[in-house]
Amino acid sequence: MVVTFWGVRGSIPTPGPATCRYGGNTPCVTVEDGNTLIVIDCGSGIRVLGNSLLQRFNGNPVHAHILISHTHWDHIQGFPFFIPAFIPSNTFTIYGGEGVNHQIEDTLAGQMESPYFPVTLKEMAATLQFRHIDQPDFSIDHLKVKTCFLNHPGVSLGYKISSPDGSVVYFSDHEPYSRLMATPSRFKIAVENGLSEEENLRFAQERDAEYTRFCEGVDLLIEDSPYTPEEYKNRAGWGHACIDDVVAMAVAARVKQLALFHHDPSNSDEQMDGIVALCQTRLIPDDSNLTCFAAQEGQRVVVPAETEK
Ligand SMILES: [Zn+2]
Ligand SMILES: [Zn+2]
């Protein structure tokens, strides 16, 4: 499988000289194996993907599967600018969980209604097929897809895509439970709900262990990790992870490669270099073979890594 990062930034597009190396587009990743093309999320990076597909297919029909993690704006805002969806010969199958009181197509159509946008979803001339994910496992061609609910405000889905050769997990956006439940405000809620300190901690650890099992042994984990432990203190409950927890989970799950993802919009390229260096210090006492990097726009990752073949 080949994984390509088209947008890696969380929350809002952040173009400019400070972000030109890691990139400023919001989440969009492709996973390709043989003739199967899977797109994950439709942040502003999908506009760049669209232009690339126009060149590559050169008028031939494009058929792709689009998995939506959730419909927060940074994960769908690029869809109205995805040119291949305006071409009649193309077909896109769009998968998503049921949002809070909203079906996925209603939410995609909503952001294209007046007064937000001049063209409606119905005017997109490609065939758009919507599939509501109502079971944890399904297949796309020869690839197996497994889903899980992430810990994020609203409903957010994590995806594991497996071929006979390798596997990729996409966790964006997600906040691990253990550090969250230990923060004073959350701990207070747990106590008010009648949980003891031990029960609160056990609940958090059991939930996090489920995510570790989900990621066990995967070749590439793409995980939302915008905050340092220091920054996390003021952002607990926002639905995103702190770097230390993401690295610890990747090590515990014996993941081969970890791509830090959904970078904070305020982080410059230099700050991103610092975050990668911080992750390396967390790995020094560890004897796993985890490779850790911060995803960059345009980056391609072969799964499994070519040296393992
Ligand atoms: Zn997001
Ligand atoms: Zn979100």
Domain extent at residue 24: 2-308
Which CATH number covers residue 108?
3.60.15.10
CA–centroid distance, residue 88 to ligand 1 (Å): 30
pTM score, whole prediction: 0.96
- Per the structure, the count of domains in the chain is 1
**Contact partners, residue 173, CB within 8 Å, separation at least 6:** 10, 69, 70, 72, 150, 152, 156, 224, 239, 240, 262
Residue 264 CA to ligand 1 center (angstroms) comes to 10
Ranges of residues in the chain with a pLDDT under 50 are 309
Q: How far is the CA of 63 from the centre of ligand 1 (A)?
A: 26
- Residue 44 confidence (pLDDT): 98
Q: pLDDT, tens digit, for every residue of 76-121?
A: 999 999 999 999 999 999 999 876 567 899 999 999 999 999 999 9
> Which pLDDT score, from 0 to 100, does residue 100 have?
59
Ligand 2 midpoint to CA 72 (Å): 5
Cα 224 to middle of ligand 1, angstroms:
8
19 CA to middle of ligand 1, Å? 17
CA of 198 to the centre of ligand 1 (A): 32
* Cα 160 to Cα 146: distance, rounded to the nearest angstrom: 5
Question: For residue 128, how far is its CA from the centre of ligand 2 (angstroms)?
Answer: 24
Q: Give residue 307's pLDDT.
A: 67
Distance 261 CA to ligand 1 centre (A): 10
| The predicted structure's pLDDT at residue 308 | 54
Q: Would you state the pLDDT for residue 156? A: 93
